[in-house]
C-alpha cells in the first residue's frame, strides 16, 4: 500500500507537470503565457511552502518517537504492553518516513515546474 501511495503521488504530480507544460506551450501570446506561468509559480510556491512546513512536523514526530522509545523502557510494564507499544512506534515511524518521501516527490516535481515556468517567462 505504501508503494501504491508513492505511485499515486508520482502520477498526480507528473499529470500536473504535463498540464503546466502543455498549457504553457499552447498559449501563443507572450503576455498570456507569462500570466499563466506567474499563476502556476504562485501555486507551486504555496505548495512548496506547505511541503517544507511538513518537514518541521516530521521532525517533531521523530522527537516524540525517540521519547516514546525511551519512556517505554522505563515504564516497567509487562511484555505484552511493551510489544504493543513497539508496534505502535514502528507504525508511526513507517508513516513518518512515507510522508517524508511523499514530500520529497512533491518538491522534486515542484522544482521542475518552477524551472519550466521561469524558462517560459524568460524565453520570448
CA nearest to 106, candidates 36, 3, 10, 4: 10
Average pLDDT of span 48-64: 92
Contact between residue 9 and residue 105 where contact means Cβ atoms under 8 Å apart: yes
pLDDT in tens, 57-97: 999 998 888 887 777 666 666 666 677 777 888 888 899 99
- Terminal alpha carbon distance of the chain: 45
Contact between residue 55 and residue 99 where contact means Cβ atoms under 8 Å apart: no
Percentage of the chain beyond pLDDT 90 is 66
Q: Provide the mean pLDDT of the chain.
A: 89
| Distance (Å, whole) CA 5 – CA 99 | 10
As a whole number of angstroms, the longest Cα–Cα distance in the chain is 72
Percentage of the chain beyond pLDDT 70 is 91
Residue 86 is predicted with a pLDDT of 79
pTM for this model (two decimals): 0.84
Q: Which three cell numbers stand for residue 122?
A: 524568460
Q: How many helices (H) and strands (E) does the chain have?
A: 3, 0
Residue 103 is predicted with a pLDDT of 95
Amino acid at each position: 500500500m505504501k508503494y501504491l501511495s508513492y505511485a499515486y503521488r508520482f502520477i498526480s504530480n507528473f499529470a500536473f507537470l504535463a498540464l503546466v507544460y502543455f498549457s504553457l506551450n499552447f498559449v501563443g501570446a507572450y503576455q498570456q503565457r507569462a500570466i499563466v506561468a506567474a499563476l502556476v509559480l504562485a501555486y507551486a510556491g504555496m505548495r512548496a511552502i506547505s511541503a517544507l512546513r511538513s518537514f518541521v512536523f516530521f521532525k517533531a514526530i521523530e522527537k516524540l518517537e525517540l521519547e516514546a522509545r525511551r519512556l517505554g523502557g522505563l515504564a516497567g510494564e509487562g511484555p505484552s504492553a511493551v510489544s504493543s507499544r513497539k508496534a505502535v512506534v514502528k507504525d508511526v515511524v513507517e508513516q513518518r518516513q512515507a510522508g517524508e518521501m511523499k514530500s520529497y516527490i512533491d518538491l522534486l516535481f515542484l522544482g521542475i515546474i518552477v524551472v519550466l515556468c521561469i524558462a517560459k517567462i524568460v524565453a520570448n
